[in-house]
A and B are shown apart, each in its own frame.
Chain A
């Protein structure tokens, strides 16, 4: 079951540059998408979300883009900071009134000073 996929297991970026993390999904019924950040020995922490009625949501250095026709979303971090180094999970929900998240496999981001 690969309903949500993150094809890049890792990404290395220089401090100050843009980090772009990608996520693809197959279930067209998903209509709410979230990004979580996870440090070692901690649980996932909510970062940013987007509803399927939008194509962009921005929060400070973090922007999520949604392309429904391509079933693709991306997280942009600008500028990247060393403290952003973590594993980033994309997750999707069938509707925001439901309770279940379907996660991607995660992308490990390393931001080099």
Chain B
């Protein structure tokens, strides 16, 4: 079964450093998403991306965050200057069509900011 692949599974970074989280969505999917889950809290929407531009973003997704689809296969989330409170599990997801039905999530990247 096709899957969404995220790398690395765990990343530790120093506060203030830039970090890039990588995702390979399912190959024929057109819509891409990032969510995060801070330990003990809810899974929260960050951003959706379609046709090489952001289609929706939450209040969490401020100027420190950016997303990019640099080639035909990868979808990345960059955090420009990490803070301690950015420590969370980050999930990438993709879907073939618009709408929330048919999302496939990756296994996540655990980001630890020290």
Contacts and interface: CB of A to CB of B under 8 A. Distances in A.
Interface of A: 32, 34, 36, 41-46, 49, 89, 91, 93, 95-106
Interface residues on chain B, size class:
20 to 34
B99 A96 contact: yes
A103 B42 contact: yes
Contacts of B75: none
Contacts of A99: 31, 33, 48, 50, 55-56, 98-100
A52 to B, nearest CB: 13
B43 A89 contact: yes
Contacts, number: 69
Interface of B: 4, 9, 31, 33, 35, 41-45, 48, 50, 55-56, 58, 91, 93, 98-108
A69 B5 CA distance: 40
Nearest to B106: A43
Contact of A93 (B93, B100, B105): B100
Nearest to B102: A46
A101 B42 contact: no
Contacts of A89: 43
Contact of B103 (A41, A98, A101): A101
